[in-house]
């Protein structure tokens, strides 16, 4: 029974030993496997090296139209420049060292042109085109040129302009004014102030005939109406950003002048100044006409003079005889402030009348005065001066004391001169001498960043890590896979190479020692394998014996099968 079980267990092993060797177990198969492994490892090493030498790609253009993208790629193909796409085809990448040169070359070719077409659309007009199509092309060209002009602003990424140009009419009642709509796509994190929006509105209105400012609408990409003209009347009374900027400049100039004149006296960081300016932005035109009171006639200029005299003949002498009747008539004068002229003396020969009228120039002064906007109505300046610091040269101790009254008065006068103080205008000035908190403390030195934490060194670290990774991968592939595969070939090559006798003897001794050691290792491995097989055989034999004791029928059936009987 035991012999039968032993034969049963030894049969699969004998069958396995009788099988023919596979292809890779033959000499040719082993050579092919070694050659294929060497080729794969070399290919991996070359791929890693080429990856390390591949150029870094950066964005050349992004968010371009399909037409511009096709023109740019065609130009890059002509120049033989490698490129690739990213961000779903919305960006073209080129080698980083060529990006600036390529941008200049493409700009010389007018690329990218943008999604809007300008007046270059009119250059390809065909013969026999209709008037309607001509008008449409002109409108498209005008819209494209306006969009390009608006896109030149720094805060605007993209712009579209829509013009509604009505047809001209000979009837006044049927005439309509053109309108315009502007859609702006602003840069991320950017916004337009009212001044820039007004500039865009005036740009569009000035480019289209008979287009008024009120008929231009500007909207951003979020649907916000930027050109809201409903509150223009209310906003006219308020200060616009330009006026606010002018006020800030005036105040900053005054602060700068005050601090610059006080710093040499009290030292750097020991003076602070603030100014508030009330600026009059009203533009006033004045016309005055003044008259002076009457003056004595001597210095007056005569404007016109008229004299008339009449006499009547045949009248006898009259009057009282004597010297008084023979006196000549007095000088006629114009009446001044209601005085009655003296009655002329009657001639001795008859009645005589004489009238004289003199007109003088009237004093009149006409004055026209125009005051420009932006005049300063009132200034308010506050200055704070730190206490004086005194250092004892012997002990180095710092003491702080306030400024004297004369020093404060001197600073007050200097500030008045620097700010342009005008008492009639209502200017106010306040100079305070108080100790500053924290000014006397030594400033903490800024600690320089470590070389490994300096952001300027990050690109260098990236390159070092890149080459170190490539070297590590290549070294691992060589020592772990390539060198063991090439060791037999190297050994045969060394054997075929002529060597000196002594070196050859030494090498033969080393080879013999290596072979002896290999044989010893093989014998030891064979003994271990035999022990393992013996242990496995004993375990299987014990299992067969146990099976024969428990169920002899199974063993009997197996033996019958071996003998070829069915009994």
Q: What is the 3-state secondary structure (H, E, C) of 61-89?
A: EECCCHHHHHHHHHHHHHHCCCCEEECCC
DSSP 285: E
Question: Is a pLDDT exceeding 50 seen at residue 16?
Answer: no
Binned at pLDDT 50, 70 and 90, residue 444 comes out as low
> How confident is the model over 395-416, as a mean pLDDT?
88
DSSP 1: -
Question: Is a pLDDT exceeding 70 seen at residue 143?
Answer: yes
Which range has the top average pLDDT, 175-179, 249-253, 560-564?
249-253
Q: What Å distances lie between residue 324 and 17, 66, 350, 497, CA to CA?
A: 187, 122, 16, 173
Binned at pLDDT 50, 70 and 90, residue 183 comes out as very high
Distance CA 242, CA 374 (A): 11
Predicted local confidence at residue 495, as pLDDT: 63
Distance CA 444, CA 64 (A): 51
Mean pLDDT of the chain: 76
Question: Is a pLDDT exceeding 70 seen at residue 157?
Answer: yes
- Higher-scoring residue by pLDDT: 8, 109: 109
- Higher-scoring residue by pLDDT: 437, 142: 142
Reported pTM: 0.41
Predicted local confidence at residue 3, as pLDDT: 47
Please state whether beta strands 398-401 and 352-360 pair in parallel, antiparallel, or not at all (unpaired).
Answer: unpaired
Residues with Cβ < 8 Å from 64, sequence gap 6 or more? Answer: 72, 90, 92, 112
Binned at pLDDT 50, 70 and 90, residue 354 comes out as confident
Residues with Cβ < 8 Å from 238, sequence gap 6 or more? Answer: none
- Higher-scoring residue by pLDDT: 97, 302: 97
Binned at pLDDT 50, 70 and 90, residue 9 comes out as very low
Please state whether beta strands 216-220 and 179-186 pair in parallel, antiparallel, or not at all (unpaired).
Answer: parallel
> How confident is the model over 460-466, as a mean pLDDT?
81
- In sequence order, what E strands does 417-558 have? 428-433
- Higher-scoring residue by pLDDT: 142, 335: 142
Which range has the top average pLDDT, 258-267, 433-442, 519-528, 532-541?
258-267
> How confident is the model over 262-283, as a mean pLDDT?
88
For residue 156, give the H/E element and its range.
strand 156-164
Q: What Å distances lie between residue 309 and 249, 331, 333, 344, 556, CA to CA?
A: 76, 13, 14, 11, 188
Least confident of 155-164, 198-207, 297-306, 392-401: 297-306
Whether residue 325 contacts residue 284, with contact meaning beta carbons closer than 8 Å, is answered with no
> How confident is the model over 163-177, as a mean pLDDT?
83
Predicted local confidence at residue 429, as pLDDT: 93
Question: Is a pLDDT exceeding 50 seen at residue 2?
Answer: no
Least confident of 51-60, 457-466, 527-536: 527-536
């Amino acid at each position: 029974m035991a012999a039968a079980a032993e034969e049963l267990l030894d049969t699969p092993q004998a069958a396995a030993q009788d099988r023919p060797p596979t292809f890779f177990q033959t000499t040719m198969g082993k050579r092919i496997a070694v050659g294929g492994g060497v080729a794969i490892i070399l290919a991996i090493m070359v791929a890693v090296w080429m990856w390390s030498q591949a150029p870094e790609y950066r964005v050349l253009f992004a968010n371009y139209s399909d037409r511009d993208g096709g023109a740019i790629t065609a130009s890059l193909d002509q120049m033989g420049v490698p490129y690739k796409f990213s961000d779903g085809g919305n960006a073209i990448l080129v080698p980083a060292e060529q990006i600036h040169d390529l941008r200049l070359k493409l700009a010389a070719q007018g690329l990218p042109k943008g999604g809007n077409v300008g007046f270059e659309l009119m250059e390809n007009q065909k013969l026999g085109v209709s008037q309607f199509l001509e008008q449409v092309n002109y409108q498209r060209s005008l819209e494209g040129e306006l969009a390009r002009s608006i896109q030149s602003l720094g805060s605007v990424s993209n712009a579209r302009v829509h013009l509604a140009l009505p047809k001209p009419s000979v009837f006044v009642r049927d005439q309509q004014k053109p309108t315009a709509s502007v859609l702006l796509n602003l840069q991320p994190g950017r916004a337009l102030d009212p001044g820039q929006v007004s500039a865009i509105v005036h740009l569009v209105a000035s480019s289209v005939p008979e287009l008024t400012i009120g008929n231009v609408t500007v909207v951003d990409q979020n649907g916000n109406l930027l050109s809201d003209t409903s509150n223009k009347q209310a906003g006219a009374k308020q200060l616009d950003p330009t006026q606010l900027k002018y006020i800030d400049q005036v105040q900053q100039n005054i602060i700068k002048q005050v601090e610059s004149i006080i710093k040499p006296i009290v030292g750097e960081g020991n003076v602070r100044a603030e100014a508030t300016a009330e600026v009059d932005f009203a533009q006033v035109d004045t016309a005055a006409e003044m008259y002076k009171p009457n003056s004595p006639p001597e210095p007056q200029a005569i404007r016109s003079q008229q004299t008339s005299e009449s006499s009547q003949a045949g009248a006898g002498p009259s009057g009282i005889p004597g010297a008084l009747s023979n006196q000549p008539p007095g000088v006629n004068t114009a009446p001044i402030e209601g005085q009655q002229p003296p009655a002329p003396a009657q001639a001795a020969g008859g009645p005589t009348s004489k009238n004289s009228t003199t007109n003088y120039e009237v004093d009149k002064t006409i004055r026209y005065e125009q005051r420009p906007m932006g005049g300063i109505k009132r200034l308010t300046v506050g200055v704070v001066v730190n206490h004086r610091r005194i250092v004892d040269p012997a002990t180095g101790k710092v003491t702080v004391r306030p400024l004297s009254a004369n020093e404060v008065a001197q600073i007050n006068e200097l500030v008045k001169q620097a700010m342009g103080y005008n008492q009639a205008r209502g200017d106010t000035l306040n100079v305070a001498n108080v100790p500053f908190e924290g000014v006397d403390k030594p400033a903490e030195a800024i600690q320089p960043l470590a070389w490994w934490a300096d952001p300027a060194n990050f690109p260098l670290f990236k390159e070092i890590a890149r080459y170190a990774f490539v070297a590590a991968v290549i070294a691992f592939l060589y020592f772990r896979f390539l060198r063991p595969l090439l060791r037999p070939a190297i050994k045969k090559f060394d054997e075929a190479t002529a060597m000196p006798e002594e070196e050859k003897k030494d090498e033969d001794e080393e080879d013999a020692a290596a072979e002896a050691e290999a044989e010893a290792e093989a014998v030891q491995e064979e003994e271990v394998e035999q022990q393992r097989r013996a242990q496995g055989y004993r375990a299987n034999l014990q299992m067969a014996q146990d099976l024969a004791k428990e169920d002899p029928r199974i063993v009997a059936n197996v033996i019958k099968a071996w003998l070829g009987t069915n009994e």
